[in-house]
Structure 1
Amino acid sequence: MIGKNVVTDFSARAVEPVIGSSAFVHPLAAVIGNVIIGDNVMVSPGASVRGDEGQPLHVGNDSNVQDGVIIHALETELDGKPVEKNLVEVNGKKYAVYVGHRVSLAHQVHVHGPAVIMDDTFVGMKSLVFKSYVGSRCVIEPGVLLMGVRVADGRYVPAGSVVKTQEEADALPVITDDYPMKDMNAGVLHVNKALAKGYLKQERS
């Protein structure tokens, strides 16, 4: 389903999603409201990208939103006024959730705004990113919880970690050449871009 959000006291306008012409949104996915999806993006079955409370939601070029992923956010407007504490700023623009370019959101990831995930980052299965900033070239291993923290560029978060203080986030290990998952994102991006292209071609034939 691709459609507009409804008008409420926290959402003054009904907005149609803006989706790149080379992106593929599976019929069993939901993309609703003030959502911006770039080019070559794969949105898989069961994913929900719902810009009807916090908005806008952004997913950059060449990224992927895999099966069961949820992207949603706390309200960014109330009675026509912005709720600044629930907004994030990237490149001079404000968002409820910003997912950058070449980001992989693996199966059942939950990104709940206010949240930022910058370019070339992999987020592993069943992880939660809430009220957090994740830098570029990071690896979030499966089953991680990030809440209220800022993860620097080029760090990894070990599987199952619960990171709720900035001290814990600052102590996260740096990705080195011998880190086993350092090239994980490249393969995932390759697969999902090919799937988006193939399913789009199939849909249009």
Structure 2
Amino acid sequence: MAAAAAAALLWKARFRKRVVDVARCSDRVRELLTSALPHLTSPMPAGDAVAARARIQLVQDKLRDASNNVASVVSFIGAAEILALRGGSTDPVMPLHMIHQLGDQNLAERDALGVLRETRMTAVETYAIVDWCLSHLRAVFLLLEHPGIPDVGVLIEAERLAAVGDLEAAIANAQLCAAEATDVRQDVTSVD
């Protein structure tokens, strides 16, 4: 009986660590995306390609870092789920199949996983939106190489505005993920 209690404490501690990791990475995603937005809010004239390219490179670096952190969020949530399904089973060799099978003694973890699954879906969507934003920025970067194309400034502006729209959507998702992850972290770490 003591071994089972020790095993439960161990998986729950690891579970809490994954939840803390989710919250930390979610906050980092929000910070990176939010800090990238000011670099895209003003036009990028074709005649000032050097400055525009520097701004694009800065934003791309932040978006790539944010993408890596989003991927970590998804991985940490998956790890938390695996820990709970194995640890919450009466026989860790035979894990549970669904989170609703976690018993009442694991209520905090079961509730946390319910929220984290929604967070994972939002994070996956955020990952795709950041990729779209990067695509628009690549288009701007390429268009800046051709200042002689008629109306290239209009095309650059359209791509920049599309990137801004995507980035704003990604920020909204990141804020939601960060808020959910923080709430889950507080709920799970307050239970002992």
Q: Same fold (TM over 0.5)?
A: no
If you compute each CA radius of gyration, which structure gives the higher value, 1 or 2? 2
TM-score, normalization by structure 2: 0.27
Q: Which structure's residues are more often helix, by fraction?
A: 2
TM-score, normalization by structure 1: 0.25
Q: Which structure's residues are more often strand, by fraction?
A: 1
